[in-house]
Amino acid sequence: MSVIDMLSAEPSADVRRRAAGLRAQSARLAAIVAACDTVSGEEAARTVEFRLGALDGILTMLESDLEAAGVRVSRDCGRALEKLSEQELRVARLVARGLSNSAIAAELWLSPRTVSSHLYRIFPKLAISSRVELAAFMLRAG
């Protein structure tokens, strides 16, 4: 069964379960995105660049499948980032690097509660609901 077939009917428990599993991988994706900044060596850099291109291709295919099923997916990352304040953008970038709220707070001289508040405001502005979605969004935004 294709993704389009699954999504054009009532959303199945399998699709919801898999999406929930991906949301739970937020720390993993954020760590991978952060690690990309530390790659050294030409061969390793080429491999990572290839895999990031593959990830971008998969995200594009999923967006197309969702849109074919009638689900609107925002692709205009740059315009969406314009909705964020400078401080919210700093927080979003640090989340994408894999930092915890406490680590972000220490880096930006904020309280962890303030970081949580920024995330609370960032999520609806970008139409996302988790740190993994934020990390993926920031990856796509460049």
What residue spans define the domains of the chain? Answer: 3-141
The matching CATH number, chosen from 3.30.1600.10, 3.20.20.140, 1.10.10.10, 1.20.1430.10, for 3-141 is 1.10.10.10
Angstrom distance (rounded) from CA 85 to CA 132: 20
pLDDT band at 30; cut points 50, 70, 90: low
Angstrom distance (rounded) from CA 96 to CA 98: 5
Q: How many CB atoms lie within 10 A of CB 32?
A: 17
Residue scoring higher pLDDT (17 or 125): 125
Q: Can you give the pLDDT at residue 60?
A: 76
Q: Can you give the pLDDT at residue 101?
A: 92
pLDDT band at 90; cut points 50, 70, 90: very high
Angstrom distance (rounded) from CA 97 to CA 135: 8
Q: Can you give the pLDDT at residue 49?
A: 76
Please give the torsion angle defined by the CA atoms of residues 2, 7, 8 and 9, in that order, rounded to the nearest 10 degrees: 100
Q: Can you give the pLDDT at residue 24?
A: 61
End-to-end CA distance of the chain: 33
**Position 54 pLDDT exceeds 80:** no
**Position 118 pLDDT exceeds 80:** yes
**Position 69 pLDDT exceeds 80:** no
Q: Can you give the pLDDT at residue 119?
A: 94
